Amino acid sequence: MRNRSAPFRAALSRTGQQPARPAPSDDPRIHVSLPGLLALEPLARQIRLLPHQPAGSVLNGRHASRLRGRGLNFEELRDYLPGDDIRAIDWKVTARTGTPHIRVMTEERDRPALIVVDQRMSMFFGSRHNMKAVTAAEAAALAAFAILGQGDRLGGIVFGDDLVAEIRPERSRRALMRFLTALTEANALLHAGARADAPLGLSQVLRAVARIAPRNHLILVLSDFDGPDDDTEQLMGQLARRNDLILGLVTDPLARTVPEDLRMVASDGDLQAEIRASDAQVHRGFETFLHDRLAGIMGWQARLGVPVLPLSSGEDTLPQLRSLLGLGPR
């Protein structure tokens, strides 16, 4: 896995050469731009990722574990006083000194957050409204502005098929700009002629997440979760036990309902194939495959106790986030 600091140097292809690609589209539904992401900042005030969530939020504890919020810092050891919580007694120090001592802890002033964004070729697809990669980038930018606005440290990982950009959590505008720049540049690498063979695996990315966010982080992963392997679920479980893990599942409307008259041309960068769903057997096979794939990902919510936020590339991003966070229409 190639680690890249953000903003990206020119991303290298697997042959070690600068990838030839067309200029990114000016259509904001196909490619994002840095000015376009920055323009989302005022809208981000409409969402929040704090531990106390509205009743209708998927993060409020009804569907998965509540957000635990900021961690604790050790302040001092002092003598036990009547009325102190006995759970705070440090028994090792008490045994060594012969008198009861307690550990005084204070809440951290902020909480580090890590936003992980998928910009692989599997995300460069859209049948309506946006490419999945655009929806993921918009959701990531809105979350980034909200996190920094609530006083928490912001970091991120942006990954493509053969590149990764890592931004360590900081409470600064600089970290935000590095994250958005990395996101814009990774998105610009996506184009119809790009090869999509042997993409970067989810487990590789999750290991990088565990290295940067060992515990007490808020981790938001925005992806279509294409290509999980035998280690993916185990790695997610380990992250969830030590952090607040949120999965943002980005799908296209075709993933839920396949039109019977669907005709589509698919390419791996070398070959093209025309797909027609008018044949009943082909249509059933498509729907079964896509349904089973979505059910497997949504099943992580029950098996791992993590919230899965379903985001569709067929709708505007902000209203979906508001609805999922129990904030209603705006």
CATH, residue 298: 3.40.50
- Do 48 and 98 lie in one domain? The reply is no
Are 137 and 33 a contacting pair, CB within 8 Å?
no
- Do 173 and 84 lie in one domain? The reply is no
Q: What is the mean pLDDT of residues 106-129?
A: 86
Hey, is 328 helix, strand or coil? coil
Q: What confidence tier does 67 reach under pLDDT thresholds 50, 70, 90?
A: low
Please, which residues have CB within 8 angstroms of residue 177's CB and are 6 or more apart in sequence?
none
- What pLDDT, on a 0 to 100 scale, did the predictor assign at position 12? 34
Of the two residues 79 and 109, the one the predictor is more confident about is: 79
- Do 91 and 191 lie in one domain? The reply is no
- Do 285 and 296 lie in one domain? The reply is yes
What are the phi and psi torsion angles at 73 (to 5°)?
-110, 140
Omega cis (within 30) before 310: no
- Do 78 and 188 lie in one domain? The reply is no
Q: CA 205, CA 235: separation in Å to the nearest integer?
A: 10
- Residue 311 within a domain: yes
Structure tokens at 213: 């966010």
Q: CA 116, CA 220: separation in Å to the nearest integer?
A: 6
- Entry pTM: 0.77
- Residue 329 within a domain: no
Question: Would you say residue 106 has pLDDT above 70?
Answer: no
- Do 56 and 101 lie in one domain? The reply is no
Domain count, the chain: 2
- What pLDDT, on a 0 to 100 scale, did the predictor assign at position 68? 62
* CA-based torsion, 207, 212, 214, 218: positive or negative: negative
Q: Containing domain of residue 76, as a range?
A: 72-107
Q: CA 312, CA 253: separation in Å to the nearest integer?
A: 7
Q: Residue 301: which of 249, 262, 243, 231 has the closest Cα?
A: 249
Among 39-43, 260-264, 288-292, which is the least confidently predicted range? Answer: 260-264
Are 267 and 192 a contacting pair, CB within 8 Å?
yes
